Amino acid sequence: MPLAASDPSGDITPMLAMDLTGRRALVAGVADDAGYGFAIAKALAEAGATVCVATWPPALNIFMNLLERGKLDESRRLGSGKLLEFERIYPLDAAYDTLADAPEDIRNNKRYREVGDFSVDGLASRLASDFGTPALDIIVHSLANGPEVKKPLLETSRAGYLAAVGVSAYSLVSLVNRLGALLRPNASVLSLTYMASERVIPGYGGGMSSAKAALESDTRTLAYEAGRKWGVRINTISAGPLASRAASAIGIIERMVQYCSVNSPLTSELTPMDVGYTAAFLSSPLAAGITGTTIYVDKGYHAMGMAPSAVG
């Protein structure tokens, strides 16, 4: 029951509470404790949700070993002192809608063949088997991959471009399509985008800027279509750059972080939990009126039209 407080008029009004108790979340794209996906999972758990995660098969064994050996215990510690526990950990390669879509060499790869159906369809089937239907209240899409991200767009191959868009953008469409029927009333779907969708970020190549633009456009369209079909809300968070292990593939991530810090209205460090807390809010009933929207969590960098460092 929410606490009460007096407003200036003397009336008693309830205080707001962000309570996700009884809600189940799936965070797709967690393989360590360094990225935004893990921070979102932790914030959701802090608010009372139970959390399942989906992990890329080549990283699954390493992630499981880190958990079992206690290497992530400190980062898993919640405000209550308890550790963040994952209700389920599923294999997921979001490049494949069905297992049949995966090439034979992938299906027979030692890192894939023992995990079962790692496709989006397989994930949906496992969730339904484990929890029944409906099963989910929150879906978080923290998936991105650009095999040619270090190449300028002019030098990006068709295969590299399509791979970036497929995993980083179309996978959201696939997840909503296949998991939509598993969602409970008033569910929330979130993804993570980046400002390269609308402005040039030299060095962020390989079609990733195009993928993020597609992701934001799809967020708006899916918000309409899935909202009318299932009553679900769909938003995306445009987060500032983070020097996570995954982002190290970009090659210039440290410079990106430093540049944004120097040239943002707020020069304090952007932390993963800044994004995590925003995700928890957007997943809560407090955000019941927000859908089809890109929310910026970047210390205000997106608002700048000229770098302060250019004028001294």
Edge-first strand listing for the sheet containing 136-141? 86-91, 50-55, 24-28, 136-141, 183-193, 233-239, 294-297
Residue among 264, 183, 176, 251 nearest 220 (CA)? 176
What does the block give as tokens for 108?
């027979």
CB 257 within 8 A of CB 241: yes
158-165 vs 208-230: helix axis angle to the nearest 10?
A: 40
Q: Give catalytic status of residue 194 as yes or no.
A: yes
d(CA 179, CA 124): 6
- Give strand ranges (E) for the chain: 4-6, 12-14, 24-28, 50-55, 86-91, 136-141, 183-193, 233-239, 294-297
Which token pair is 58?
């080549």
Find, among 255, 238, 167, the residue nearest to 204 by Cα: 255
Integer angstrom CA distances of residue 89 from 7, 9, 198, 258: 45, 50, 34, 34
Q: Outline where DSSP puts E strands in 30-116.
A: 50-55, 86-91
Helices (H) and strands (E) in the chain, counts: 10, 9
Residue 296 designated active-site: no
Q: Which of these is catalytic: 161, 170, 204, 301?
A: 204
Question: Is residue 235 helix, strand or coil?
Answer: strand
Residue indicated by tokens 């393989």: 31
Residue of 36, 90, 194, 277 marked catalytic: 194
**Which residues are catalytic, by number?**
194, 204
